[in-house]
Structure 1
Amino acid sequence: MSLYYEDEYVQLHLGDALRTPEWLSADVLVSDVPYGIDYNSGSRRDTLAASIAGDKDTTARDGVIAQWRETHGADAPALIFGTWRIQRPEDTRALLVWDTKGALGMGDLSIPWKPAHQEVYVLGRGFHGRRSSDVLACAPVQSMSANGRVHPHQKPVALMEALIEKCPLGVIADPFAGSGSTLIAARNLGRKAIGVELEEKYCELIVRRLSQQAFDFSTLEGGVA
């Protein structure tokens, strides 16, 4: 059995997303997938991993999108994180920009600009809500603070809430649950969610964050078109 944790709102499975089909019963896919950037942090931190599994290429990303569309159809709603450095998913309908307020590493030191954003791709249909900017400004989770980042790609709960608020009704799926921000955000909004995480240490972390009723009060400016 892959079921690792379950409560009134959240169901978490331990396993490989491509071989753990329980998440496919959800209604909306919202995930920061491994998308092939092969990120490897050079920071010297004993408590934070330098990289994540499956980030060498887009196999994991493309695999879950294919499974999602095979299960729910070509118009199945999904929000997928990515980068301009990697080819966007097929049939991307819109690009959202997460403005990290200037905090996103040093980037290419040979040019006079540093990276300060990430991309989110809108796939499928059914999104709703107040029409607003496609740029979302939200400070990232700090890596060195006392209550700082515990996963190399941890997303602010406030950012995930802003995305989920404009998703179609139903259960949220995150087959790459990581630190659990998507699951926490869904729960905070009264939405049920199904997550899958490959590494047990992150499943333990997610359960701990859920049990602590982790809320994120980061300031968010803007919204999602």
Structure 2
Amino acid sequence: MATRLVQINVKAQDDSALGRFWAEVLGWGVDSEGPRVTNLEPLGFAYPDPSAVCIDIVAGPEVKTVKNRVHLDLATTSNAHQKELVARLIDLGATLADVGQGDVPWTVMADPEGNEFCVLEPRAIYQDTGPIAAVVVDCTDPREMARFWGAAMDWTVHEVTDDQASMRSAQGVGPYLEFVRTSDTKSVWNRVHLDVGPYLGDDPEAEEARLRALGATDPGIDQSTLSWTVLADPEGNEFCLLSPR
């Protein structure tokens, strides 16, 4: 058994407005599976597919108070493209952000609700990922995160060091999932989190048990009305185990 990253979940004060922003940024389509939920995926996309990690934006009352521990890195093809993209993002409502990055070749920005993301300088490794180069997770121990997520999913681990680790679909398509060492520790419920999905025909209860055996824990919330399961990785980052598809 195995699972794979299928989407990221973003909490928002206004899911429709934030969805329109990200759809413009990525050139993706917008849909809604129900009230207060906006779904984004590439045009013509057949969910789930490793060529893209989709985005679900869900309205919620929580107000952003700290830097998100999960963010997106956007890919560019040239220095000119990076500059043009930053300018277009500002026109769409993004702002430049300072998270203590110092003098770096990428540009740190925030979307209209303050969610941090990066516009990367051109890097050869990301030239075939699509508009999202990587989904990045802050952590204190990249090696432990690579151990857990490398066993949890059927993605390929590409790099593991004390400072960072990276994974990608075994099919060699879509964005990377990266874990970057930071000095900050998790203090609040993550407004952005990973959603993973088993394959069609897999047993959800068996998959949950397998993830728990690898080190996933119960986040301590009432899940009696949910059709999915909320777990936490070894550093306490919440993630959702969706129904097999």
Q: Provide the TM-score with structure 2 as the length reference.
A: 0.32
Structure possessing the higher radius of gyration over alpha carbons: 2
Give the structure with the larger strand fraction.
2
